[in-house]
Amino acid sequence: MVILITGITSGFGKAMAERLSAEGHTVYGTHRKDVEPIPSVHYLRAEVTDDASVAAAVQAVLDAEGRIDVFINNAGMGIGGPLEFSSLEDAKRQMDVNWMGMVRFLHQVVPAMRQRRSGTIVCFSSIGGLMGLPFQGLYSASKFAIEGYCEALRLELRSFGVKVVVIEPGDFSTAFTAQRKSADGPEVHAAYPMYAASLASIEHDETTGLKPEYLAGKIARIVRKRHPAHSYIIASPVQKLSVLLKKILPAKWFAGILSMYYKLG
């Protein structure tokens, strides 16, 4: 299969590119910075916030291969901190990368798949796209947007044989934690005295989380399926349980559980 993955320089993207190319797929991946290349993977320099850059990357694959069998929207970033202290520029940046970045690629990929009446679209959301996470509100908002967009897209493409799959990872040990931009400063901690303890808990869960290679193995199996599920939660048992509890518990009860878990007082 011809597979295009966005953001393959580290974390999930790199692990997926390594696994899928090792399994014999023709893998193309986008990147912004120079890295040591993975053998047999085709690198495309692209910026997800730039329309022309995205269009050129997709066209390069179509020109070389004539098709894209699987598109994996993985590129993303996180901005943390109390929403009160998140600037409008941060909010725009968060949505432009995580959500609009996906939209830009899909505007180029979907027509080719629809015309061939074949293809699989895999978009990365998060458990944070199923519940609003404290001090990660902008990130959650961007992932909620992905959930809604993909739910609609799945229905629109159903009769054309194009499948849309959403991946909802929990905490994983990747460079995402170190690269996240978080609000900080005396005024932030004075206004939200629980923030430091909550942030420490968040970062502990991430740095001790599952390894990206585990997720890559799951993705490799998903792309081989003729009839994949609409979504897959790839997370620890406790985090999978949290999703179930959100569905079955009264909203106030679940909010109380999250408050305790994130040390909100």
Catalytic residue positions?
139
Q: How far apart are CA 132 and CA 143, in angstroms?
A: 10
Tokens standing for residue 123 = 């978009």
Rounded to the nearest 10 degrees, what angle do helices 11-22 and 212-224 cross at?
A: 50
Burial of 36 (0-12, 13-18, 19+ CB in 10 A): exposed
Within 13 A of 215's CA, how many CA atoms are on the CB side? 27
Please check whether residue 223 is in contact with residue 1, taking contact to mean a CB–CB distance below 8 angstroms.
yes
* Pure H helices in the chain: 11-22, 51-65, 88-95, 101-116, 137-157, 176-179, 186-191, 195-207, 212-224, 237-248, 251-261
Would you state the structure tokens that stand for residue 96, as one six-digit string?
């432009």
